[in-house]
Structure 1
Amino acid sequence: MSIWEQNSENAKQWLEKLLKLMAMSADVQIGVQELGTGPSSCWLIIDSSQLSPQQVELLLANKGEGLDAIQSLANTILNIGVEAAEHQFYIVEINGYRQQRQSELFDWVNQAATQVRQTGQEIELKALSSAERRQIHAFFQEENDLTTESRGVEPDRRLVIRLK
């Protein structure tokens, strides 16, 4: 078993235990999906069929704040003692929420990139979670003419897209 597989299995077990402690017992599947999140991303997919509609709503309310909180915990706790260069990024998914949000996000970002290229003026994107900002930074690493940076302090942290 590779280190990635071992870490992913540990993450799966950790999330199942956390959900149980939250009185939301559910199975978790490990997935690998490339949506601009980088090669070391591990998707932890919660089986919503084992949860009530109210429990699912708790996780997805307020633009997925509950899911974001769990994902933030996963990325912090599961990378304790791991060198920054070796961090594995975990994406917590339920009912296709992350995939849908990423699709919307990348459409929005592509429109912003087109505008920056046409006008030469930078654009600030607001109302993004830290995980979404990370995904956009990773997405733009492959662009030759554009770069990104984060500015400000939470909860008003913004992502800026500009020409290199």
Structure 2
Amino acid sequence: MEGLLDILDYDGDIDELVSGGRPVVEVVGGRLQNLVGQRGATLEALQELARLAVFRQTGSPSRLLLDVGGYRANRRKELAAVARNAVEKVKEHGEPVRLEPMSAFERKCVHDVVNAIDGVESESEGVEPSRRIVVRPAD
């Protein structure tokens, strides 16, 4: 990541940590939005490249999570609100709610929120890049 920032002539600091047993690399600094891209698409691609680089060095797959400019933390909060809103609709109307297509990271955030609430359940359906979550009343 440091090499990429140098090539792009971006100023950013890199923090490495472990969260929930998962390696996390955070790039912090100003004017990093281009590394996030529209709805995090560039960030997802950079994360995949970082995982491939780790695999090439170690021979083992990595669950590395890359965050740039706090995007994932902010997005996690937005997705929690989306999940709670879907749960409210399901509880109010008793009908399943289909959410917009999301990345694997986004779907996990929504599943985590929904799974913590009694009376509802969630599952993913469809195929990438149109994979989405359906929130429904629990059986």
3-state SS of the aligned residue for 1:45? strand
**Residue in structure 2 matched with residue 69 of structure 1 by the alignment:** 45
C-alpha separation in 1, matches of 2:119 and 2:86: 13
- Tell me which of 90, 93, 100 is aligned to 1:119: 93
1:104 maps to what in 2? 78
1:125-157 CA distances to partner (integer Å, 9 max, x unpaired)?
113112101222233333332211111112221
Q: Which residue of 2 aligns with 1:43?
A: 24
Q: Secondary structure at the match of 2:128?
A: coil
Instruction: Compute the displacement of 1:91 (Å).
Output: 2.9
Aligned partners of 1:44 and 1:114: how far apart in 2?
A: 34
The letter for the 2-side match of 1:112 is A
Q: Please state whether the residue corresponding to 1:46 is helix, strand or coil.
A: strand
Q: Structure 1 residue runs of 4+, over 6 Å off?
A: none
**Would the aligned equivalents of 1:149 and 1:161 in 2 still touch at CA under 8 Å?**
yes
How many correspondences in the alignment?
Answer: 134
Once residues 134 and 74 of structure 1 are traced to their aligned partners in structure 2, the CA distance between those partners, rounded to angstroms, is: 20
TM-score, normalised by the number of residues in structure 2? 0.75
What stretches of structure 1 of length at least 5 have no aligned partner? 1-14, 34-38, 83-87
Match of 1:152 in 2: 126
- Counterpart of 1:144 in 2: which secondary structure? coil
Q: Which amino acid aligns with 2:15?
A: Q
Moved more, 130-139 or 39-48: 39-48
**In 2, are the aligned partners of 1:40 and 1:89 still within 8 Å (CA)?**
no
User: Aligned-pair distance for 1:31?
Assistant: 4.2
- Show structure 2 runs of 5+ residues with no match: none
Tell me if structure 1 keeps the 8 A contact 2:83–2:114: no
Match of 1:90 among 36, 60, 64: 64
Q: Which of the residues 16, 19, 27 maps onto 1:30?
A: 16
The structure with the largest strand share of the pair is: 2
Is the partner of 1:134 in helix, strand or coil? helix
Calculate the aligned-residue CA RMSD, in Å: 2.8
Retained in 1: the 8 A contact 2:120–2:136?
Answer: yes
